[in-house]
Structure formats: structure tokens, C-alpha cells
Structure 1
Amino acid sequence: MLVKGVVIDKTLAHPQMPREIKDAKIAILTCPFEPPKPKNTVRLDIASEADYEALRKYERETFETMIKQVKDSGATLAICQWGFDDEATHLLYHHKLPAVRWVGGPEIELIAIATNGRIVPRFSELTPEKLGSAGIVRELAFGTGRDHYLCIENCPNTRAVTIFIRASNSTVIEETKRALHDAMCVVRNLVRDDKIVYGGGSAELACSIAVSKEADKIVGLEQYSFRAYSDALDAIPMALAQNSGYSPIDTVTQLKALQIEQNNSAIGVDGMNMGTNDMKSQGVIETLQAKKQQLSLATQVVRMILKIDDVRLPNDEQPSMFGM
């Protein structure tokens, strides 16, 4: 599922807080809902019931002051990096202020970026200008275990999106993540350079024909390297033909003849059995930048291998360079 916003693995602190908040004003806090703790080591002795009631009253007033500061800023949702106890949760619900606790640091930063909000370290520094905003904040439940997630959607920063993946096991999830990553890399390459070539092995076939024609013009040993490079380019369309259930050699030979006859470099392997070998009509394309990178890397690997003079085995009896 594509969510135009941020998804976090958290729920609202109180089960009776509203599960959907529209036009939310979000206070992003890194300060806990709890009374301030002394910096040094102190000991608090409660000798009577009155002392306990005074402490409880102090904590309640502190919580209510914090909640009032959040509500006075105009916030309708509080997202806190730290936790808060049942007393604070009850008071937040009583004052109709939905809150989410124990949100991690990286997630806090993502929420701040998506909602155009500021991370606030102290309640006294909270102002309306530092609040983030979102069109809707809602809880979603998934699976048989009714797992709950918090979705912050329709954020001002429209570049913040989340792809939510669920599957039966981690292998399927990892494969889906890999496929999505590959797709986004293709889009990135198109943004960098919008030139394309047609797929289905048509680009390799066209390059193979061009290199072979160039080899015919060369007299000497260099023509063998040209012909070897031409044969290497045929490996990709042959593999595509084999995976599609065709005869690799016959298919590549026929496609080369068709490309030369029709002067159409978009003819490739019809792996989807669409009834046509024209990759342009099928809409099968690849980015030029990726194709250039593939050919360049393959060429560099071959050059590295050709530079190797000999291979030493672990148990060979050849003398070492020191004569030992």
C-alpha cells in the first residue's frame, strides 16, 4: 500500500482516544510528560498521608501544566519521543489531547520533515509556528493479530511517502523491497538522463551487428577481438530466448536477419508471446544510462582478466620469486 505520508509502528496512548484526526496540528516533543527530576542524587521521604497527597497533587499539577502548554499552542495531537505513565495518559484523555508515546528518534525526524514541524525539546518553547500539520492522522489495523499502525497522511511535504509491505514471510518482503528498489533506480536513471533503448535484447543485437560490420573493415588481429565482442553481445538475447523456451541460436540468427532486413533496431526476443518482436510496440524499454553502465562494467572485467599472465595453484611445484 502506498501512503502519502509517514507510517509508524505505534498506536495512540489511550484506547478511547479518537482513531482518526482530521486537519491535525502536531506537537513533536522530545521532552517527557513527567515531573522534572533533580540533577543530583536526592532522597524523598514520605512520612505521612499528607506528604503523599502533596506529592500526588504536585505531579498532577505538573502534568496539567504541560498539557495546557501543548493545547494553548493549538496542537490537536502530541507525538512524544519518551513515554508517560498511566496518570499522564488519563489526564491527556481527560483533556481531549490524543498522544503517541515512545516514538523513536529517526521516526521523529521523518515526521518533522514530512509535516514541516519543529522538534521541541521543552514545553515552554512550544509555539503555533513550530507545529507540524497533516490532512489526516489515523490508526490502521492489519492481519489476523490486528496489528495497529499510525498513518500520518496528506502532509505539506508531498515528497514524503511510505510504501507499506506485508507478506507471509520475510523472504517475500525482502524480494518485494528489492523489486521496488530496482524500479526506483530505473526512475532515478531516467531523471538523470531521459534517453532510452528498447529491451528484449534488441539493443545488444543492434550493437552486435554494428561491431560485426566494423570487424569486416579491419585487416589484422584486431578483427578477432571485434568478433569476440560481437559474440559476447549475443549472450544476453540468447539467454532471454532460452528462458522464453525458444532455441537460442535459431532465435538470435532470425532476429539479426530481421533487424538487417527491416532496418529496425527495436526487434528483440518476444518473451511475453505477444505475437510481435517489435519491442517498441510492446513498450519494453531500458534506460540508456543503465545499458551503458552494464556494457562498460562487463568490458572492464574482461580487461582485468586479460591482464592476468598466470594463475598459481596452492600445491604447485613452481619455484617462487625468491628461488625457495
Structure 2
Amino acid sequence: MLKDGHEHFSDEDGGGAVVARSITAACELSRMLSSSMGPQGRNKLIVNHLEKLMVTSDCASILKEIEVEHPAAKLLELAVQQQETECGDGTNLALMFAGELLTSTLDLMKTMGWRHKTDIMEGFHLASTKLLNELLVSNIDNTDGALQELKEKVLKPVLGSKHYGSEDILSDLVIEACQIVLNKKDMSVLNPSSIRTVKIMGGNVGQSACVQGFVAQRGVETTIKASEKNAKIAVYASGVEASGTEAKGTVLMKTADDLKNYNRTEETKMEEIIQGIAESGIKVIVTGGNISDMALHFIEKYKLIALKLSSKWELRRLCQATGATALVRLGAPTPEEMGSATTTQKIVGGRTVTVFENDVDGTSKIATLVLRASTSSVLNDLERAVEDGVHAVQMACKDGRIVYGGGACEMECAVRLDRLADQHPGLEQYAIRAFAKSLECVSRTLAENAGWDAVQVLADMRASHVNGQIDAGVDIENDPGSKGMKDANVYDLMYVKRSALKLAIEAATTVLKVDQIIMSKRAGGPKMPGQ
């Protein structure tokens, strides 16, 4: 019935080979990346198919570069990608909890028999409906004064888990950038694309800075390197040069005077254009094309600043930052088409950059974080940490509910689910207990990555939660054992955590529902290297 070359795996014999194989593949992917979770998580050295090196502990970035082959493991990868798209954080939690849930399921199925998958999934459904419903700690209001509280409670734990040791510096930069681009009338609206990063190699993280405006990674073309405060800017999508005719033509010149007059006409026309731009009040010209030598001569004559940006994306960002409109015609802009910013050429880390800084409050819609580090790998890791921090602020502006971090929330859920299992005498109670045990993987992984005795830490945490201390979590800095997360000021966003756990549960139950795997024949083409 199917084309030759296909592969087919089935559970028709009742042995559960497909489910076991799918769970094993998914758990192996989860186990491989579980060591990257938390502030003390290990980095992975990834070499992608283009032989590009990347060093990171971010789960979503790793899965983007590697090629997952098994279809069941691919389901977990899709869940991680969805978590990255929705929240920008919690990807390690989604993958690790899904793998731990499948591991507990495999143990249950071996103990109870392969026919009880329905009871297991019903127990998981009962447990998930009770999850996180009663663990709300507080609510961060989406007001300007709450950004400091947000930095201490939410932003530092997020950045610390990505780039431990630099969370204080990065959190100040992210909060400063968010204050620039946040709408003062509606604090719940934050566009992450309004905060861009510029990576400059050299120096250290402490030399990073936030600029209210746009930073171009190239110098100006003119001898004048700085403009007056809030100088007017004209942005052209086309080049500043003489345009060619649409139709081909032939110019017949009989004398030398004809040649001189022809060149003089072109010069006169270009001078009229630049003079008109200067008389309109423009001090800075930015173009997305080339600047001819003749145009540059007249730009210097009228004491203007010229900058060339080859990227259309950067040109749009500059227009957004300065309030200018990109023109397709070469000429003097109208007042509505002009932008304004203080333009300065600077040398940062031996690299020439041009800074368009907008000093007028409330007019800049772009904030730029200039990141400094010694290597490109650290710079890329800092950029990913900043992106996750901005997404955390965005989620907090939408939903400010927070819960205790450091594994405290998961352990409290596990203790309460164990009590819930006592109220269900059916087969679902085993699935609920397995679900509760899977939640302990967060605390166990944090303790293992920090170098503590995971068994002792889990025992201390469970004892504290049974006795009513709901904020007991893993202390990664001091002596091994549990510590109150309230005193440590470690919290997690409830929306992010709920989304990660929900996607993990859906991915795990989808894998359990599979009883056949049918893989079609591979498409033709050259073989991969090494095959």
C-alpha cells in the first residue's frame, strides 16, 4: 500500500515497543539538556550543519541548531519552540518536565501493564487541573513604579539563570531600556522589537550601556563627526547620487565647451539639491544607497553630516528612533518627514560607531543596548539573556502574578498532589503520584547542577513544605539545603511557569497516544556528509 522505502512501527502485538521507543528517545533529549538548567547550568558546545560554533545553555537556541531525527523527540522540540515564541523563557523547564513525565509513565506502564495508558493520562489531567491554582504569592502592578520591584523579584532570577554573575548589571540595563520604550499611558504594552542590541567585542560586561535612540555600527562619511543637540535628520531609501535615465540615449558633443557645459549642468543640479536640503534645516543625511563623490563634495561644502546604512532593517529602525520618514525622492524633506536626534561618532572598543541619541523625553521609540564582552560566544550569550529578560518584562506587564522560584513552587505542588492522590482510590492515584514525583525534577536538577547532594536537598525541602514552609527552595550559593525564597528574593512569573508545564504535559500525552509510527521514504538528493 505504501511506497517502497517507508518504515513502519506498530504496537498491534500489545508489546508497547513503539511507546517505549518514543519515550526513550524523548527522555534522552530531555536528559541531555537538563544539565543546562538554572544559574549553575552547564553550557553546550554546538557545531551546526554549517560548522558554526555556538556556546550556550539556552534550550531553545540549542534545539534550533541541532537536528532532531526521532519524531517523538521532535514533539518535545516543537513544545519548546512554542514556549520560546509565547514567553521567551521557561524552555528548559518545558523540555525537562516533559522528559521526566515520560520517564515516570514508562515506570508505571512496566509496573501496571501496557494496557493502562488511558488511566495514566486521566490521572495526569486531574493533576494538571490542580496545578498552580492556589500558589499565587503576589501581583506586580503594571505601573512605572513597579519596574524596580519587577527587577528584584523576576528579572534578576531570569537573567541569573542565563548569565550567572552579571544579572545585576544586565537587569539595570534591561529596566532602563524598558523605561524608554514603554508607553506611559498604557504600561501593559511593551514591544520587544523596540529594544535592539549592538555587540562590540572587547572590554567586559560592566562597560555595557543603554542608549535612548539608535546606534549604527559604522562611522560617518564626512569630516564633521558630531551635530548640534536634536539636529534635524533626513533619511533617504535611495542613494544620494545622480539618477540614470530609464531609456538609453546618445549625447553628441562636438567641442570641448559642450563637454564642460554638460558636466557643469550635472554639478549645478546636484548642488541645488544639497543646497535645498541644507536650507530646509537638515544637518544630518542618512541614505540606504551610495553617496557619489560629487554629492559628498557639496555635503562638505554646506557643512552637513552624511551616513550610509546598507541594511534596510537598520534604516527602518533609525526612522522609528528619530521620527523620520524614509524618502524615495532626492530633495528637501517636508517638516513632517524630518527626524531629530543628537548625532555623534564615537570609538567603542576600537570600533567606530554612530550614535543617534534622542534627548527629548517621550519621543524616542527605540532603545539600544551596547553589549561588551571579550569573545563572540559571550556576546551572543549576553544577547540571548537580554532577549529573555525583555520578554520577562513583557510578560510581567501583561500578567504580574508571581510564585516562588528555586523549585519551591514545584515542590509545594508535589506535596499537595500527594494529598490529592489519597482522595482518589482508583488507578488514577498512581498517575497523580507519578506526576507529583516528576515535579521534583526541578529541585533535584538545580541541586545537582549546583554540586549539592540532591537526595539530601530534596528531603530537607519536602520536610519544610510538609511543615507549611511553602517558600523553601534550593540555595545554590550557600551550604547545601533548602532556603526561604522569600528572603532570597527569588520568584518566577506564574504565566511563564504555567505555560511551560502545560506545553510539557501536552507533549507528553501526545507521545503516549501514539501506537504507530509511519515514516515515508526520504526525498531524493545528495547524501549528507558522512553517509
TM-score (norm 1): 0.87
What amino acid sits opposite 2:354 in the alignment? L
Displacement after TM superposition at 1:35 (Å) = 3.1
Q: Following the alignment from structure 1 to structure 2, what is the Cα–Cα distance between the partners of residues 165 and 45?
A: 58
1:143-183 superposed Cα distances (whole Å, 9 cap, x missing partner):
3xx32111111266333111223444432222122111211
- CA distance change for structure 1 residues 303 and 18 in 2, over 3 Å: closer, same or farther? closer
The answer to which of 221-230 and 17-26 deviates more is 17-26
Bigger shift: 41-50 or 184-193? 41-50
Deviations 1:164-212 (A, max 9, x none): 2344443222212211121112112111210001111000000000000
Aligned-partner residue type, residue 459 of structure 2: T
Give the deviation of 1:304 after TM superposition: 1.9
Deviation >6 Å, runs of 4+? 310-313
2:193 matched residue in structure 1: none
Q: Is the 8 A contact 2:280 2:332 kept in 1?
A: no
Letter matched to residue 55 of structure 1: Y
**Residues 306 and 32 from structure 1, CA distance in 2 versus in 1: closer, same or farther, beyond 3 angstroms?**
closer
Residue 39 (1) aligns with residue 246 (2): yes
Q: Give the Å deviation of 1:69.
A: 1.3
Given the alignment, which residue of 280, 284, 288 partners 1:73? 280
Is it true that 1:269 corresponds to 2:474 in the alignment?
yes
Alpha-carbon offset, residue 77 of structure 1 = 1.0
Q: How does 1:283-298 map to 2 (within 5 A)?
A: 283-298=489-504
Percent identity between the aligned chains? 27
Equivalent residue number for residue 8 of structure 1: 216
Q: Which residue of 2 aligns with 1:308?
A: 514
- Asked if 1:195 is matched to 2:406, the reply is no
| SS of residue matched to 2:492 | strand
Letter in 2 for 1:6: F
Tell me how far apart the structure 2 counterparts of residues 123 and 85 of structure 1 sit (CA, whole Å): 13
The answer on whether the counterparts of 1:34 and 1:62 sit within 8 Å (CA) in structure 2 is no
Higher relative contact order (CA 8 A, sep 6+): 2
State whether residues 320 and 365 of structure 2, in contact with CA within 8 Å, keep that contact through their aligned partners in structure 1.
no
Alpha-carbon distance in structure 2 between the residues aligned to 1:311 and 1:44: 73
Aligned with 2:289: secondary structure? coil
The number of aligned residues is 308
2: CA distance, partners of 1:53 / 1:75: 31
Render the CA deviation track for 1:194-244: whole Å, top value 9, x for unaligned.
Answer: 000111100000000000011112212111111101110111101111122
Write the letter of the residue equivalent to 1:226: I
1:45: Cα distance to partner? 4.3
Mapping for residues 1-324 of structure 1, pairs under 5 Å: 1-14=209-222, 16-124=223-331, 126-134=333-341, 136-143=342-349, 146-154=350-358, 157-261=363-467, 263-273=468-478, 277-309=483-515
List gaps (5 residues or longer) in structure 1. Answer: 314-324
Instruction: Tell whether the 8 Å contact from 2:225 to 2:345 is kept in structure 1 after alignment.
Output: no
Identify if the C-alpha distance between structure 1 residues 168 and 43 changes in structure 2 by more than 3 Å, giving closer, same or farther.
farther
**Higher radius of gyration, 1 or 2:** 1
In 2, are the aligned partners of 1:200 and 1:268 still within 8 Å (CA)?
yes
**Aligned CA distance change for structure 1 residues 79 and 283 (closer, same or farther; 3 Å):** same
Once the 2 structures are TM-superposed, how far is the Cα of residue 115 of structure 1 from its aligned partner?
1.3
CA shift, 1:301, in A, is 2.4
Cα offsets for 1:262-316 (capped at 9, x unmatched) = x221110111218970101111111001111121122122212322347799xxx
Q: Is the 8 A contact 1:21 1:138 kept in 2?
A: no
Q: Distance in 2 between matches of 1:242 and 1:299?
A: 24
Paired letter, 1:57 = R
- Contact preservation (8 Å) 1:133, 1:155: no
Query: Matches of 1:292 and 1:78 in 2, distance apart?
Result: 49
Gaps of 5+ in 2: 1-208, 520-531
1:37 & 1:239 partners in 2: Cα distance?
66
Counterpart position of 1:317 = none
Read off the aligned partner of 1:10 and give its amino acid letter. Answer: R
